[in-house]
Amino acid sequence: MAAPRHSISHKILAVKLATTLVALLLALSAMVAYDLRLYYQNWINDVQTQAELVGQMTAPALSFDDARVAGENLALLRYRPRILAAAVYDARGRLFAAYPQPASGFPKLPEGDGARVEGNELIVFKRIVNDREILGTVYVRAEYSLYDRLLGYLGIAGVVTALGMGIALLFSRWVHRVLVRPVLAISQLAAEVTEKRNFALRAEKLTDDEIGLLAESFNAMLAEIQRATRELEASNRQAAGEVAERRRAEEEVLRLNAELETRVAQRTTELQSANAELEAFCYSVSHDLRAPLRSIDGFSQVLLDDFPKDVSGEAQRYLGRIRSSTQRMGQLIEDLLNLSKVSRGELARRDVDVGEIARQVFSDLQQREPGRKVEVSVWDGMQANADPRLLRAALDNLIGNAWKFSAKAEHARVEVGLLRDGTQASFFVRDNGAGFDMRYANKLFGAFQRLHSANEYQGTGIGLATVQRIVHRHGGRIWADATPGKGAVFFFTLAPGSAPETQASKEVAA
């Protein structure tokens, strides 16, 4: 629920009355405080002076131990009706004379010089000294009407406040007529313009001050709004035509999109059919090509084993080359089929331990080459979300390459680790083997691309292409850094984004 709005005249009246009230209260409070303090100080001084006079008059009586004269001196205080009681004590503190008689309600012993207020009474003690000898003490108890005086001032303050507020109220009417009425006129005009949206209305200038300037500025604003409204209406009419044209364009786009979706569906069907034919072809190649290769390899082995004396040494060398070529072609067919399988099928991603898979790969390599001495380092805590089958294939190729190309190193070393840059993880496989020239790094991941001759290191040149496809299917990327003769390091990620190549290379090389 919205808070009720108050008129500016009511607000100005409230501010005026509040200001007047605060000013009156401050002035009256200061005046009353000053007068009461002055009254307090003057009354104490008056009573102390009276006590001192009584002491001077009573000093001879104390010296001659004449209590009657002292009493007569105290009796003179009856001409000061506001003094309620008085007494004189001798030097030993005994009550010597008192007023009024009988001496009742007086302190048993005198106190030192001083004054204090007890309720509605002022108590004063004044010592009687003659020639530096204390003859006695004067005690005076007088009325203290500070509170009655304060009540009187409060009454006066109430009357003055009421008169001041009345004058302020009368003055506010003149303020309303001079200041508020022109502002209210502008406010009413603004409300009428807002309600009727009639920007041709104008405010009347009633004064030549800032409020008159406000009226002129308001009129100028209305004129500008009126002009802008006309331009906006014309622009709206033009925009309506453009919207209609855009609507027709959108309808055409929707028609083209529908046609494109139909074409995409057709192409998808054709692609699925082509993939099915390709898969059938792959199986056919796997069976139809492998069978004759096995026959060639098998019969070549039979000739070498069963007819060693009938086959010359040169023929045996040729048969060995035939067997080597058939085996290499068989491996090439196997690699091509693996590369084809990587691009097909759904990913079965789950949380896997990359370090455990790497250790399995190293174990298989060491079993195949038990005579190799390779220092192996696999970091702990390397977790990833990936397809275990494809990740194993990628590590088989990367670790196998590191194992192969470090064969000629004096102290072969292969390391599998993980670098983190915030939430991004970059795995790496590093060796201290042959390495390669970074000028040819763009050829690394192409099929059948080799940076070393087949005589130096065996291989088909398909392994890194397979690794790249596996990494791309996981939404990651792969890159390498190497130095000829000092080894190579391959980085890969398994999620979108990756650590910068240069930074990761420096950290691993450190």
pLDDT in tens, 483-499: 888 888 999 998 753 34
Structure tokens at 196: 């009727």
pLDDT reported for residue 417: 93
What three-state secondary structure class fits 412? strand
Identify how many contiguous H helices and E strands the chain contains and give both numbers: 10, 12
Rounded Cα distance between 484 and 456, Å, is 14
Structure tokens at 459: 């291989």
Weakly modelled stretches of the chain, pLDDT under 70: 1-10, 13, 101-104, 174-182, 184-185, 187, 199, 201, 203-212, 214-215, 271-291, 293-295, 297, 299-300, 302-303, 310, 316, 323-345, 440-441, 446-462, 496-510
Find where tokens 């790497």 sit: 358
Of all helices (H) and strands (E), which one includes residue 124? strand 121-130
Q: Estimate to the nearest angstrom the gap between the alpha carbon of 153 and the chain centroid.
A: 59
What three-state secondary structure class fits 114? strand
Choose the CATH number for 8-164 among 3.30.450.220, 3.40.50.300, 3.40.50.2000, 3.40.50.1820: 3.30.450.220
Rounded Cα distance between 96 and 77, Å, is 16
Do 96 and 70 touch, CB atoms closer than 8 A?
yes
Structure tokens at 453: 């001759």
Rounded Cα distance between 492 and 494, Å, is 7
pTM of the predicted model over 0.85: no
Architecture of domain 348-509: 2-Layer Sandwich (3.30)
Strands 412-421 and 424-431: antiparallel
Of all helices (H) and strands (E), which one includes residue 335? helix 313-342
pLDDT reported for residue 184: 66
Do 368 and 397 touch, CB atoms closer than 8 A?
no
Rounded Cα distance between 401 and 465, Å, is 13
